[in-house]
Every structure is written in C-alpha cells, then in structure tokens.
Amino acid sequence: MREIVILGSTGSIGTQTLEVVRANKDYKVTGLAAGSNVKLIEEQIAEFRPEMVCMWEEAAASELKTRLEAAPFTAPEIVVGMEGLIKLSSECPADIVLTAVVGMVGIRPTLAAIQAGRDIALANKETLVTAGHLIIPAARKAGIRLLPVDSEHSAIFQCLQGEAEYGNKISRILLTCSGGPFRGKTLEQMREVTVEDALKHPSWSMGKKITIDSATLANKGLEVMEAGWLFDVPLDQIEVVIQPGSVIHSMVEFEDGAVKAQLGTPDMKLPIQYALYYPKRRHLAGERLDFTALGSICFEAPDRENFPALDLALRAGKTGGSMPVVFNAANEWAVAAFLERKLPFLGIAQKIREAMDAHEADWNASPDVGEILAAEAWTRAFLLKSGPAKRVAI
C-alpha cells in the first residue's frame, strides 16, 4: 500500500481525491488537513483512519479533539495552523502529498514535503505561481516528482509522455480555457454581475475561489505561469485558446508542427488518478466522450480587452520575481472581497492592477520565502488601505 497525505481534504479536489482512493483501495490515507470544516473531516477520519490531522483554525482543532474523544477507534494526532501543516507534510509517513489547499498558504508545507523527499501531486497552483523559483529547484535537488493535478497541466503532461524522454522539444503549449460564465460579455455587461452569476461555471464544478478566477480569466493567467514552471517553457510559447465546453484539456505543438491533445469529459478525478498512479492508467468509472453527439469542437481567441486579468497575469509572469506574488495576493484579496460582496466583479482586475503598479518600485528579482510572505502581506495592507471600490471605472 502506498501512503498519501491530503492537504485540503474537505474541498472540491480533496473530496474527489478521497473518491479515487476509495475506489482503488490501495492507498493508505495517513494524513488529512482542512481549514475549519470539522463535521466533514470527522467523517473522513472515521472512514480513512489517518494518523495525523491538521486543522488551520485553533477552535476547529479543539472542537475536533472533543468530538473524537468518544470515537471507537484510536484518534489521530491533531496538529494546528502553519506549524501543523508543515509537520503533517514532512513528518507524517507518506509517499505522496496532494496539495489542494487554496492560495499561498500552500508554499511552506509544499516545500517541507519536497525537502522530506515526498512526491507532490500539485493542485494548489498559487504555490507554484508565487514560489516556482524555489519549488522547482527544490524538487530537482530532492529528486522527487511534481505531478500536475490541474486538468490542463495534466493534459500537457500526458501529451509529453514518450516525447520529453527523447528530448523532443515543445514549440507551443496550447492551453485551453472554457471562457467561464461571462464569455462573450463586455465590461459594461459585467458591471452589475452578482456572486451567484459568477459562481455558475459552464463546465466544471469547483471550489469558490477558482470558480471566480475562471470567470475573470485570472485562473488562465495563473495556469500560464504554472505551465511555464512545470514544463520549463517561456511564457510567450504558451497560447491561451478558448474551447467552450472543456472537451480538449490542452494541447502541445512540437517542432515538426504535430499537435497532440488530451480530450475527455470534464471530470477532475481523471487528472487526480493519473497523478496518483503515474505513469499507469487505471479504470475510472464515469461518462465517456460521445463524438457523434458532440458534433463539433469550436475555438476562439481570448477576449483580452474585456477580461484584463489575463494580461495582468502575463505581465506579472514575464516580470517574474515578486510580481507574480503581488498579482496572486491581490487576486486572493479581491476575490475574497467580491465573495463577501464588498467589491464589484470588475473591481477584481482593477485592484490587481493597482497593487502591481504600486509594487513596481519595490520589485524583487528573486524573493526567498520570507520575502514572498512579506510581499503578500504588503499587498493585502496596500489594498486594505486603498479601500473597497464601490463603483468601478471601466
């Protein structure tokens, strides 16, 4: 039995990972981590019997301890906060750590897991976007595998099998994108959109933060940076292509002009399972593509004018250093403010731009972990001071 630790086990990716583990029956879940969802993690503990569990919130950890007192099995060790996440990632026995927390909180536990020699199944893209220059060399040094879970990156990774080992060079990555719920809309038409409108993703069911990122196209911008790090490809060789319906999960063009694509139904269990059993494929229950019913697959160029977060991400990625940290921290802050109805939808890109412009003077070419976290704190403080935008100029 291989052993797995899952960071973010109560979320969209976390619960689907546990579905894959449940169906295959040959992974032992040794560790779980969540933010505050005591009820669900208690159920997961009863089913999977991990050795160690981390709750981000102190109160949630205390409540979980109390609830487990009467459990008819040996309760796991409960650890708390960042210290707990790092302990879980590096000390709890594991062959692989699946990182599915949301945001930059994943940086330190991911680095700790790498340094402890564990393979990483990476869903938490914010970690790679903001600390890729530390994660990639650390992974190389430790000789561990960094296996993509994000569907586009899993698709690219699958296309590269049988190519990379022969040194066959990528000429372009074609990163596909559904376009999100507002595809075809103008800025004016998006001025009054609500949280509910933005949470209606046309093809994927995901956590709230990434669903909003998909509506602004910030997600695709993060994914371009993620692909740059994972596949060592310059950002101007990565092209975003809108493919409504998410049938093609991404494509790779090689030097001879050949294009390979990975297609499938929009089901995250496929990339999760591929990462867990790489390089093997296994049966996965679920719907299969019906090409005659599908009829056609269409493509469009992304609308950069009405979805400015995409170009802001590319600007951040090309600038590098601390700029992607500021892009990402501003986006995390603005998405949270939008979800709390304190910022209009269009305010998300506006706040990212404000923070990036203000950061130019303090740009750091190669921030270490402390400097990354300081740039994150600076961004949040800057945006808090800038005040919530009630009406946004477009």
* The Cα angle at residue 373 between residues 367 and 374, in degrees rounded to 5: 80
Identify residues 116-175 at the interface with ligand NDP (CB under 6 A). 123-126, 150
Q: Which of 126, 150, 213, 332 binds Mg ion (CB under 5 A)?
A: 150
Residue placing its CB nearer to ligand NDP in the complex, 272 or 389 = 272
> How far apart are CB 150 and Mg ion at their closest, in Å?
4
Q: How many residues bind Mg ion (CB under 5 A)?
A: 3
Strands 170-177 and 52-55, sheet pairing:
unpaired
DSSP-assigned letter for residue 85: H
Residue placing its CB nearer to ligand NDP in the complex, 104 or 389 = 104
Of the ranges 151-159, 256-264, 317-325, 328-336, which one interacts with Mg ion (CB under 5 A)?
Answer: 151-159
Residue placing its CB nearer to ligand NDP in the complex, 274 or 389 = 274
> How far apart are CB 347 and Mg ion at their closest, in Å?
24
Q: Which of 3, 4, 5, 9 binds ligand NDP (CB under 6 A)?
A: 9
Residue placing its CB nearer to ligand NDP in the complex, 105 or 389 = 105
With binding defined as CB under 6 A, does residue 202 bind ligand NDP? no
Q: Which of 3, 4, 5, 14 binds ligand NDP (CB under 6 A)?
A: 14
User: Which has the closest alpha carbon to 213: 223, 227, 225, 203?
Assistant: 223
Helix, strand, coil proportions of the chain in percent (round to 5)? 50, 15, 35
Amino acid in position 356: M
With binding defined as CB under 5 A, does residue 332 bind Mg ion? no
User: H-type helices in 239-363, by residue range?
Assistant: 269-277, 291-294, 309-319, 323-339, 347-359
Q: For ligand NDP, which residue has the nearest CB? A: 11
With binding defined as CB under 6 A, does residue 32 bind ligand NDP? no
33 binds, among Mg ion, ligand NDP, none (CB under 5 to 8 A by kind): ligand NDP
Inter-residue contact 95 to 118 (CB < 8 Å)? yes
364 binds, among Mg ion, ligand NDP, none (CB under 5 to 8 A by kind): none
With binding defined as CB under 6 A, does residue 268 bind ligand NDP? yes
CA distances from 235 to 123, 228, 230, 323 (A): 20, 6, 12, 15
- Measured on CA atoms in the order 271, 276, 277, 283, is the torsion positive or negative? negative
Spatial neighbors of 290 by CB under 8 A, at least 6 apart, are none
> How far apart are CB 115 and ligand NDP at their closest, in Å?
19
Sheet strands (E) in 127-217: 146-148, 170-177
Identify residues 203-242 at the interface with ligand NDP (CB under 6 A). 204, 206-210
Residue placing its CB nearer to ligand NDP in the complex, 135 or 268 = 268
Provide the terminal-to-terminal Cα distance of the chain, rounded to the nearest Å.
55
DSSP-assigned letter for residue 117: T
With binding defined as CB under 6 A, does residue 44 bind ligand NDP? no
* Lookup: tokens for 342: 């304190």
Q: Give the interface with ligand NDP as residue ranges (CB under 6 A).
A: 8-14, 33-37, 56, 85, 100-102, 105, 123-126, 150, 204, 206-210, 268
